[in-house]
Amino acid sequence: MLIPRTIEETVRNISSTFPVLLLTGPRQVGKTTLLESILEPGRKKVSLDNMTARSLAKEDPELFLQRYAPPVMIDEIQYAPELLPYIKILVDERKQCGDFWLTGSQMFRMMKDVSETLAGRVGIIPMQGLSNSEIQGNHFHAFSVNPSELMDRMAVASPMGLMDIFDRIYRGSMPRLYEIDSINTDIYFESYIDTYLSRDIRDLRQVGDLTAFLKFIKIIAARTATNVNYEAIAGEAGISAPTAKQWLSILVSSGLVILIEPYSNNVLKRVVKAPRMYFMDTGLCAHLMGWSSGTVLEGSAMSGAFFETWVVGEIYKSYLNTGKRPPMYFYRDSNKKEIDIILYQDGILNPIEVKKNSAPKDAVRNFSVLKPLEKASNEENVFLNTGQLKAEVGTGAVICMAKDILPVDRKNWYIPAWLI
């Protein structure tokens, strides 16, 4: 069963704007399936997974592009970077938007070549697995804490209980797992990890020991929804801190992990500067940690971290799917006061707390750390790390297991997690 993707409109817009479209993301998130579903008559298709096609592309790129002349879809472009200079020549000659559709999953190998060779000619779209709304058959705009927009969602979204959400968290977001219900998730994720290590990681000079790298991935999975501490990670993994930083950058470039930067400016003091890391596919994360079911996971000490990881991932995907850079930050200071998510758009900060409870008390108490910004918002020389001079604190939210959108107070709202 093909699940329609919200990002399809973004793909069409980029294709009509740039000569080259590059759809990137982790393996098996549906990049090829999406492009094949909108493939127009006359567009050729070739995969560089095919060794014959790959050999031709690497050994004689010019002949390859005669055989597969634009408009064309080239799958797994990272296997033949030799094509890129010749694609540039054709693009400059033809000046046709949408001539080349490219996909690639090894972003750490590919992005530098693409950005250098096809600068100004390529629209790059990062893609992730299915969002909860897509699985439910909905296609929402990027997440907003605007109550009126959320009320509109209430009319079409399907309510979910706590165990429904944890079953979703445990299963993850890979499309294949929703196309065939009978797939064994353990076998699927073991195969996924083997493929990732053998095809994406094996030849990287930065990774000399695949066994040590797999141990490292499991350590990162266990630390999802925590601030990055390279020294602690390195000590646990038995590697150096620089190696830990390098290996984490590989996971980020692969799209398996995201880093959310801390929000700071010269008004708020003693802000922790380390980013926070999240595993994007909660199913893969749960498998790496050895959880056996959503029920067991929900009852574990990690349930809060997985719930937060899922919420952050859903919001993050909602922006990617609409072609936007996620405007997401978090807050933590030396007094250990935290705000899980801060959305910063149009000069307005929207603080968001994530709680697994149905009506968590005092969930918005840490929002008060942003009050100095309200006082300083009309003053000069207030410089934020986001590049803006002023900021206003807007509507806040507590994303939790509430059954309805309800006010916490005059400025903050409880939002059901299944609405994101």
Tens digit of each residue's pLDDT (9 = 90 or more) over 183-224? 999 999 999 999 999 888 887 778 888 999 999 999 999 999
Phi and psi of 237, rounded to 5°? -90, -10
Q: How far is CA 12 from CA 17, 98, 321, 387, in A?
A: 9, 9, 12, 30
Residue 115 pLDDT: 77
pLDDT > 90? residue 264: no
Query: Nearest CA to 1 among 180, 136, 138, 139?
Result: 180
Q: Which residue has the tokens 């329609």?
A: 4
| Mean pLDDT of all residues in 42-48 | 96
Range with the poorest average pLDDT among 61-75, 76-90, 356-370 = 356-370
Dihedral of the alpha carbons of 36, 40, 45, 49, in degrees to the nearest 10: -10
Q: How far is CA 414 from the centre of its chain?
A: 24
Q: Using a pLDDT cut of 70, give the percent of the chain over it.
A: 94
Phi and psi of 382, rounded to 5°? -95, 105
**What is the Cα–Cα distance from 302 to 325, expressed in whole angstroms?**
29
pLDDT > 90? residue 157: yes
Two structure tokens written together for 248: 């984490």
pLDDT > 50? residue 387: no
pLDDT > 50? residue 49: yes
Range with the poorest average pLDDT among 225-239, 296-310, 342-356, 381-395 = 381-395
What are 234-258's pLDDT values in tens digits?
A: 999 999 999 999 999 999 999 999 9
Q: What is the pTM of this model?
A: 0.94
Range with the poorest average pLDDT among 15-24, 111-120, 339-348 = 111-120
In this prediction, residue 181 has a pLDDT band, given cuts at 50, 70 and 90, of confident
| 79, amino acid identity | Y
In terms of Cβ atoms closer than 10 Å to its own Cβ (0-12, 13-18, 19+), residue 14 is buried
Query: Nearest CA to 329 among 304, 380, 132, 315?
Result: 315
Strands 226-227 and 276-279 turn out to be antiparallel
| Mean pLDDT of all residues in 269-279 | 89
Cis peptide bond prior to 71, omega within 30° of 0: yes
| Mean pLDDT of all residues in 90-117 | 86
